[in-house]
Structure 1
Amino acid sequence: MASHKPGKCCIQGVQHKGEPTGTIQKVGSVECYLSFPPSKSTSTAILFLTDVFGHKFINSQLIADDFAAAGYFVCMPDLFSNDPAPLDAFSGNSDFDIGRWFETHGPETVQPVVKEAKSSLLGELGVKKLGAVGYCFGGKYVVEGLAEGGHIDAGFIAHPSAIERDELRAIKKPLSIAAAESDYVFPDEMRHESEVILKEISVPYQINLYSGTTHGFAVRANLDDESQKYAKEQAFYQAVAWFTQHLNGSKS
């Protein structure tokens, strides 16, 4: 494994406040959260693959809107057929079992959703360049999309989970990773192993490590904590800079 399966740290963090500006719509048969750039163009898009809280989680919707404000059409599909981790999992009193939930939300159910969303984006929605972001759970499917025939032109993942070594070795397109300093799911030894793999396969890559952070910081940081807020914001800027280079200006 290049990263462990999701664990309890994947349902910890803080729910944010704000007013999302996107809309819930069907893309093909898949329900998605869509957010448009000021230009309303769909030519350059980001497929947003979420953590276990899914496409209706306000934290993810606000990040999707930020990508849209940066100039990208954003599509965030419902990966879980309306069965995400419940928001009360944030509570210390929740009896939610993420291990059991994960057993019923594996590649056999998620991959068809991702495939249909990509097909619709590159088809009727007119996308010419497609990037993908994956937070925690979603990181695995970004990596899969960077392989030959995966139709993703550049990817960004933050504190990823459940990625196999062979999946990482198979990528053919640029990958940027935002890693937490303390992360059971993507610990130091797996991050170092990922660095070795990425160097060996000679694709453009970047791995940034954020001090004082834990798994989930790029989505579920405590924004009242200045250091956590800073890390979350910098991870977002990392992704935007990566796409500026590899979607807007790169031949890769």
Structure 2
Amino acid sequence: MASNELSHCCTIGALHDGEVRGEIKNIQSISTYFAYPANKSTENAILILTDVIGHQLINVQLIADQFAAKGYFVLIPDLFNGDSVPINRPEGFNIMDWVKNHLPLQTEPIINTVLTEMRGKLGCKRIGGVGYCFGGKYVCRYLKHGQLDAGFIAHPTMVEANELKGIEGPLSIAAAVRDFIFTTEKRRESEDILDSMDVPYQINLFADVEHGFSVRCDLSKPRQRFAKEQVFSQAVAWFDEYLKD
């Protein structure tokens, strides 16, 4: 595998303050956060595939608004049919029991529906995929012609080597130096896989942060805030290069 299974660190973190600008609407029966750029164009789009805490988390909604402010139409679908994991979940919660109901068999029909809507009714011409933790696996699975045009993932979980080997488009990765899931060994395995392929790739490593930092870090700690901001800038630069004309 190119990253390990879900663990305790996938469910903990700090809540961020802010006022969101987007809105929750349905794509068929899928609850989805919509954020539009100032010009309301949907041509350059980003699909955010979340961590297990899901699309209602204010942290990820604020990130979607940031992408919208950079000129992208952004969607965050509920990947879990209302069964997301509460942040800092109750004692005794077993993440591996939970994930049995959220495997590709359950998750991919949701992504397929949203991508079909984006390519059709919503008029998206180029789509980038952002995958945080749980979502990183699916950015890799969908980074193929006609699905996602470019990908960005941060501290991914459950990515299998053959999924990474199967990507057909440019991929940027952000990693934490202290990560028991996307470990040093797994990062190097991923680098070896990507280096053997004919796709653009990038791997950036950040000190003083842990798994989940790009969404759930403690913003009162300057180094964590700096790393989170740099990860966002990394993603924007990647999509500006590989999505926009």
**Both proteins in one fold, TM over 0.5:** yes
| TM-aligned CA deviation for residue 104 of structure 1 | 1.2
Q: Provide the residue aligned with 1:77 in structure 2.
A: 77
| TM-aligned CA deviation for residue 19 of structure 1 | 1.1
Correspondence list, 1:1-252, <5 A: 1-89=1-89, 94-149=91-146, 151-249=147-245
Q: Which runs of 5+ in 1 are unaligned?
A: none
* TM-score w.r.t. length of structure 1: 0.95
2:46–2:72 CA contact under 8 A, matched in 1 = yes
Amino acid at match of 1:77: P
2:12–2:87 CA contact under 8 A, matched in 1 = no
1:173–1:203 CA contact under 8 A, matched in 2 = yes
Provide the C-alpha distance between the structure 2 equivalents of 1:221 and 1:87, rounded to a whole number of angstroms.
Answer: 12
Aligned length: 245
1:28–1:120 CA contact under 8 A, matched in 2 = no
Provide the C-alpha distance between the structure 1 equivalents of 2:184 and 2:207, rounded to a whole number of angstroms.
Answer: 13
Instruction: Output one character per residue of 1:44-94: Cα deviation in whole Å (capped at 9) or x when no partner.
Output: 1000000001110111111111111111000100000011001341xxx63
Provide the C-alpha distance between the structure 1 equivalents of 2:209 and 2:42, rounded to a whole number of angstroms.
Answer: 34
Amino acid at match of 2:156: P
Instruction: Output one character per residue of 1:176-199: Cα deviation in whole Å (capped at 9) or x when no partner.
Output: 000000101100001001001001
| TM-aligned CA deviation for residue 95 of structure 1 | 2.7
Provide the C-alpha distance between the structure 1 equivalents of 2:140 and 2:8, rounded to a whole number of angstroms.
Answer: 23
* TM-score w.r.t. length of structure 2: 0.98
Structure 1 residue runs of 4+, over 6 Å off? none
Q: Which runs of 5+ in 2 are unaligned?
A: none
Instruction: Output one character per residue of 1:160-218: Cα deviation in whole Å (capped at 9) or x when no partner.
Output: 00011001001110000000001011000010010010010120000000011110000
| TM-aligned CA deviation for residue 96 of structure 1 | 2.0
Instruction: Output one character per residue of 1:100-147: Cα deviation in whole Å (capped at 9) or x when no partner.
Output: 111111111101001110000000000001101000000011001113
Provide the C-alpha distance between the structure 2 equivalents of 1:157 and 1:54, rounded to a whole number of angstroms.
Answer: 16
Give % identity.
50
| TM-aligned CA deviation for residue 28 of structure 1 | 2.9
